[in-house]
Amino acid sequence: MNHSPYRLGFTTLGTETRIDDLPVQGAVPTWLQGTLFRNGPAKFEVGGQRYNHWFDGLAMLHRFAFSDGRVSYANRFLHSRAYQEAMALGRISRREFATNPVRTPLQRVADLFFSKFTDNCSVNISKFGDELVALTETPRPFRFDPETLETLGAYDYQDGLTGHVSTAHLHFDFQRMRHYGYLLEFGLQSRYHLYSMAADAGRRVRVATLPVRKPAYMHSFGMTERYLVLTEFPLVVNPLKLRFSGKSFIRNYDWEPERGIHFHVIDKETGRLMTSARSMPYFGFHHVNAFEEDGEVVVDIVTYPDASVIDLLYLDRLRSDQPLTALGKLTRFRINLYGGENVAIETLSETPMDFPRFDYRNRAGHPYRYVYGVGSEITGNFNDKLVKLDLEGRQHASWHRNGCYPGEPVLVLVPDALKEDDGIILSVVLDARKETSFLLILTASGYEELARVEAPHAIPFGFHGNYLKEGNGPLSFRTLHS
């Protein structure tokens, strides 16, 4: 069987290293004085057992630090309990998204009562107070050292909120200086708990609780100036099935398109459910942005026709020569705040894309113009180009090079930027021909290439990360989404 040229991006990276000065082609902007932190899976087998899905591999942190046009690099595995147990036992120890550990009959019985969900925080990176944390979709972040990438232990929220599933895509409100997130608590009566947390504190405060009979799989959610938006896609689970079926986590979920999407709009201050509305069925991982306009809540999401995209991301499929269609389309939903259950839907761009980013620091919760993401130049290929969508001009720019596979584009604005695209794009790119990776630096305005920073090895395809500016004093969260 032929194999995809990008399969190297789904191969274990066993090397941990630190290099003070990476080779650079071109010129790194000298105003870039900070660090890009990236997160993603990098170990896809333990002992004789393999992880099944891209979302399952054990987490590795990557650090690109910039100073006066020079770039250093480090990478290190995140020592979650899932990682530590797997290394000690020589086998997969915890239930992942689409992989179950091998269990004896007695262990399977024990799992019914003491099921150990993963704490393998491979999805995203955020900042709580003065600490950097790695996140996944279970509510146990892990702290790490921003210089050495050493794992510092689990983050203590210092509150009594409980749940089994969370989101790695927390929002941050720069006016209120608060994080917002949600927990899903499974039970005979399952519940969504929405919460907020002050930027300088570790205690979550419940905003609202919504009961739910069959919880939906939600990777992210929306936030406007005044509201939080939960988007229940019709990929749902019976919690009893989740406990007793013996299947991996996501295999317990069923696609029920007749349900449509249920949007719930909740007031940040009072916790009041302002409205619930329903639209035709779609699936999605990533909300882009949301805002209020003329009595409506506008919610932009990268959507898929159904949840079959999850099946396309199994590692056997990704490593094969089968064509992929694992990108969505940017779709706008308009929810009437003052009555009426109908939701107006508009496809903002026909350009296939995902891993969306925008000027979060200045435009989160507000109307915005530009969206940056990954796309596909060659039909059926894995993500092989970067795209930029202009929601006003409805035009787009792109970057593509044969044999190169870019990751999430992170926007970094120049100091005192006046426009949403006044800055650069950072993206970790796999060069399949050279069997190594590089950090690509593009202008955000026109996608012109400024520099390539050569990594010492091939970096497995990751998910998300953030750029953190240097400062004189304690690191501030407000720099994280610049």
How much is the pLDDT for 99? 95
pLDDT tens digits along 61-106: 999 999 999 999 999 999 999 999 999 999 998 999 999 986 555 4
How much is the pLDDT for 481? 46
How much is the pLDDT for 470? 74
How much is the pLDDT for 104? 52
In which band, very low, low, confident or very high, does the pLDDT at 3 lie, cut at 50, 70 and 90? low
Mean pLDDT of the chain: 93
Task: Please give the structure tokens belonging to residue 346.
Answer: 């508009």
Higher per-residue pLDDT: 479 or 263: 263
How much is the pLDDT for 472? 37
How much is the pLDDT for 114? 44
Q: What is d(CA 457, CA 460) in angstroms, rounded to the nearest whole number? A: 9
Q: What is d(CA 365, CA 171) in angstroms, rounded to the nearest whole number? A: 10
Indicate if the pLDDT at residue 448 is higher than 50.
Answer: yes
pLDDT tens digits along 115-150: 568 999 999 999 999 999 999 999 999 999 999 999
Indicate if the pLDDT at residue 477 is higher than 70.
Answer: no
In which band, very low, low, confident or very high, does the pLDDT at 209 lie, cut at 50, 70 and 90? very high
pLDDT tens digits along 295-323: 999 999 999 999 999 999 999 999 998 98
How much is the pLDDT for 4? 81
Share of the chain above pLDDT 90, in %: 87
Mean pLDDT of 253-275: 97
How much is the pLDDT for 296? 96
In which band, very low, low, confident or very high, does the pLDDT at 208 lie, cut at 50, 70 and 90? very high
Output the pTM of the full model. 0.95
In which band, very low, low, confident or very high, does the pLDDT at 471 lie, cut at 50, 70 and 90? low
In which band, very low, low, confident or very high, does the pLDDT at 201 lie, cut at 50, 70 and 90? confident
Indicate if the pLDDT at residue 473 is higher than 60.
Answer: no
Q: What is d(CA 40, CA 3) in angstroms, rounded to the nearest whole number? A: 22
